[in-house]
A = this chain, B = another copy of it.
Amino acid sequence: MKSQRAELVADTAIDLLADRGMRGLTHRAVDEAAGLPPGSTSNLARTRSALLELTLARLTQLESTAFAAAPAPPGADMVEALAEMTAQALWTQLTVGRRQTIARYELAFEANRRPELRTIYDRAGERFRDLAVAILSAAGSSDPVRHGRQFVAFGEGVMFDVLIGAGAEPALDDLRLGVREFLRGMLGEGAA
């Protein structure tokens, strides 16, 4: 981020987005929630579009570091390891990163109507998707591109369901079971 202040503003915007939604995110609301003198946010991000861009940029920055350390251990049962890794990642996003995930979803919707956001969102999504393709390819997928995409979609669906849908508590064990079944379905019963 360009400055400490920009970080503070963006982080506050993320929380507001998660807690109060798109309508709750305003320049003034950020000032107030961050304890900044009124006008500060308006000054840093002149337009609403600029504020959204700043927030999304910060969000992708935060999430990219969260998924950085994840080298696939090429052990005996790769599916098992991959399932464990994925379940843990989902778990993290659902608990510690709950608000970040919700804020990201809010911005994803907004990106459908704002090209400047779409650009940022897609660039981050692409990197993530490519990673999934590479991993599934290494795991012996017969159609890595489609599978990679489906893998990401499955993850988003699980998170969406927990955070927005039924609202039930996420259970790590269930996540593990689910991901394992999902992977076996794609890679075949006895996949390496």
Contacts and interface: CB of A to CB of B under 8 A. Distances in A.
B166 A125 contact: yes
A28 interface: no
Contacts of A105: 109, 164
A36 interface: no
Contacts of A188: 189
Identical copies of this chain, number = 2
A186 B186 CA distance: 11
B165 A108 contact: yes
A9 B123 CA distance: 38
A185 B183 CA distance: 7
B185 A161 contact: no
21 contacts: A23-B23, A108-B165, A122-B167, A125-B166, A146-B178, A149-B161, A149-B166, A152-B161, A154-B154, A155-B157, A156-B161, A156-B165, A157-B157, A157-B161, A181-B185, A181-B186, A182-B182, A184-B185, A185-B185, A185-B186, A188-B189
A129 to B, nearest CB: 7
A165 to B, nearest CB: 6
Given A21-B109, A149-B161, A184-B185, 19 more contacts: A21-B22, A21-B113, A22-B22, A102-B109, A108-B164, A111-B164, A112-B163, A122-B166, A153-B157, A153-B160, A153-B161, A154-B157, A154-B182, A155-B157, A156-B161, A157-B160, A181-B186, A182-B182, A185-B185
